[in-house]
Each structure stands twice: as C-alpha cells, then as structure tokens.
Amino acid sequence: MKFLHTADWHIGRKLHGYSLLEEQWSTFQALKKLAKEEKVDALFLAGDLFDVSTPPVSATKALDQMLYELNVELGLPLFIVSGNHDGANRLQFGTRWMKQGQLYLATQIEQALEPIDFGDFQIFLLPFFHPSDARRFYGITEEDKGQMETISQAMERLVKDMEALIKPGKKPILISHFYVAGQGNENYQLISEGKSEIGGLNHLPASLFASFSYVALGHLHSHLSSPSEQIRYSGSLLKFAVDEHWQEKGVLLLDWDENDLEINFQPLPISKDIRLISGSYADITQQDFVAKIQAEGPAYYSIRLTAKPQGVRNLRDTLMTYYSDILDIRIEEASRPHNRRVLTQERLESPLELIQQFFQEQTGQELTVQQRNWLKDSLLESREEA
C-alpha cells in the first residue's frame, strides 16, 4: 500500500502581512497531482490544517474545497488529526457522517482509542491535547493532578491504552501532532513554529512510540526534523519564515511492500518562493542584477544591505520599485572594534519608517498595507495640526 504523509498546511497563514492563500492553493494542486500519479491508497494529514483556531471564511472555504477534491473527486481515504493551531471544537463539526466517505477526523482525545482497520493496518488518530484534557478524560481530579501534570505523564498512559488495542497481525500506524525528540532531531532549531507555538510543553521521547510501525507527525515544519526512521515529520507545505528560505518543502511518500517500508521525501513546487538578497544598495538596484533576480520567478524578498544608503528616504518604498513584495530590510554594518560584521537595525529617517521598524521588532511581522495607510493618514493629520 502507498500513503501520503503531510501536515501543517496552516491555511489562512500570512507572511509579514502577505496572504499565502494563493500559494497554498498552488501547492495543494501539486500534492493532489502527486497523489493521483502515485495511486496512493490514503492520505495522512497530521494537524494544523488552519493557522488560527477561528480561521477567516476564505480559509474555511479553501480547506473545505481541498478536502472535497481529495476525498470525493479522487476517492481518497483521509486520516486527519487536529493540531495546536486548530480549533478542535469547531473542526469536529460533521465528523460522524464524514466517516461514511472514509474521511476520518479526530479532534478529541478519546478518538485515539478508536483505531480504524484499513487493510493490513490499524490506524490510531491522536489529536493535539493538553494535560488538562487528559485529566478530564481519565477522571483525575484537581487534588490528584500530580498524577498527570505533564504531557509525558499523560502520553505514557494513553500510549499504553492504545497498545492494548493493537490487533495481532496488524501494522499499527499513529498519526499525531506533538514535539517528539530522538537522535535524529537533537539539534533542531525552531524557526517558523516558534517556542510559543510549542505551547510550553516538553518534548516527548521517541522511545515512547516504539510499538508503532510508523508514526506520522505534524508540528515541526521541516522533514529534516524527524527523530527517527520510523517516526517522521513531513514538514509544512510552504515556507513560513525567512530563515526557511533554503528549505525544500513537500510530503512523504510511504510505500509498504509486505513488511518492508520505503519512505521518500517528495518536494512540491512553490509558486512564490522566499529569496534572500544581499549586497550594497547600488549593487542590488543595478538593472542587470534586478533582471537576474526577477528571472528566477515570483518571490517574497528579504533584503540585507551592507550599508545604509545615503540620501535615500523611504527606503522600503524605494526598494519596492525594484522588488515588489519585500518581507524585511536589514542593514549589515561592519563592527570596527571587533573587525567583524554584525546585523543591526536600520537607522531610520522618517517617522513612518521608525514606527514600521518598531512594530517589526516587537511583533516579528511587517505592517499590512492598510496599517501603513492608516499611519500615513495619522502622521499627515499630525503635521497639519502642528
């Protein structure tokens, strides 16, 4: 049998104020094409379907259509769990009748103990949960909360209960959404996930899931973050941070031949990439240089200047005449005392640029076009009053 393992779609995500919905649709179509060409038997979607728990209408409509195209048009069984970004209570709507079309969506902890028989496999769906969810499920009172105060304590008990349900002769597969650590990802650096998105939960040891033939994970956004051969992250479908500009994104293709499992990472094309541009202002605005960069295809740009250009006001607006979709601009200046280069924030001249830079430092995001327009209007009013 063949399966596609994917996760962390984050439908509705924005990158420094830019909507990624168009790119998400494009990559989804590539995923759909791959599933059809490889004639896969089912698809695993390991959480974070949406980017926020209360997604906008555009995101809910997009996901609804995507799942329809996979499940109804292609007739592909779908095994899905909710992640920490998903609103589990909202997402569970309609899950009972979805099973009739082999769309299995788990949003509650008790569903992990309702495995699904699928040919030679037994598939366990474990959505993201907090220790308090596990205490409620197991009837542990606040007075006895020390019995299950951490995610590790909760998972140990839950895994034992799942193991008791494994049928002889079946290959158990677990689909879940947690931070699992092993020898393969000891040095993994969180980038687009962010420490706050891990939810303050300690990582889980890979050894805890030794009873499963394969564990399909979501939560970490790179397939290179997998803790072991049998416990894998597929990574996100898109790049969600400038520091991910070098990463390949895609899905994992699982090919089971009796007891032998072959796992291959399948990169998917991105319709609009993230590119890092470095150099002096004069260099990166030369006609030949700009033409060469633009010939590489549509992109969002992160710009690193070797020095602050003299006499250039409204630097961002000026650079956007060359590179329309700019994520951020940084000035890299030589540090004379230590004879090395350090990354520093640009010294800004206009109030608008100052506010934009402060906003980015505090939130990690760029101002949206609408926010910039509001600021421009407010600053203009202030000047007129003065």
Q: Could you list the pLDDT tens digit for every one of the 386 residues in the chain?
A: 999 999 999 999 999 999 999 999 999 999 999 999 999 999 999 999 999 989 999 999 999 999 999 999 999 999 999 998 888 777 766 666 677 789 999 999 999 999 999 999 999 999 999 999 999 999 998 888 888 989 999 999 999 999 999 999 999 999 999 999 887 776 666 666 654 444 444 689 999 999 999 999 999 999 999 999 999 999 999 999 999 999 999 999 999 998 899 999 999 999 999 999 999 999 999 999 999 999 999 999 999 999 989 888 889 999 999 999 999 999 976 544 444 444 434 334 456 666 766 665 545 466 776 777 677 667 655 544 44
**Residues 326 and 177 placed together within one structural domain of the fold:** no
Cβ(274)–Cβ(327) under 8 Å? yes
CB atoms within 10 A of CB 365: 15
**Residues 29 and 131 placed together within one structural domain of the fold:** yes
**Residues 85 and 207 placed together within one structural domain of the fold:** yes
**Residues 57 and 198 placed together within one structural domain of the fold:** yes
Q: The whole model's pTM is what?
A: 0.82
Cβ(73)–Cβ(38) under 8 Å? no
> Which one of 223, 247, 267 terminates a domain?
267
In three-state secondary structure terms, 188 is coil
**Residues 8 and 86 placed together within one structural domain of the fold:** yes
How far, CA to CA in Å, does 126 sit from each of 104, 140, 177, 314? 12, 20, 7, 50
Token pair for residue 229? 């051969």
**Residues 142 and 251 placed together within one structural domain of the fold:** yes
**Residues 287 and 309 placed together within one structural domain of the fold:** yes
Instruction: Say which amino acid occupies 219.
Output: H
CATH code: domain of residue 63: 3.60.21.10
> Which one of 267, 300, 315 terminates a domain?
267
Reported in sequence order, the residue ranges of 225-384 that DSSP labels E, i.e. its strands, are 231-233, 250-257, 260-267, 273-279, 299-305, 326-335, 340-344
**Residues 263 and 289 placed together within one structural domain of the fold:** no
Q: Give backbone dihedrals phi and psi of 129, rounded to 5 degrees, phi first.
A: -150, 165
End-to-end CA distance of the chain: 73
CA distance 227 to 204: 10
What domain range is 157 assigned to?
A: 2-267
**Residues 262 and 310 placed together within one structural domain of the fold:** no
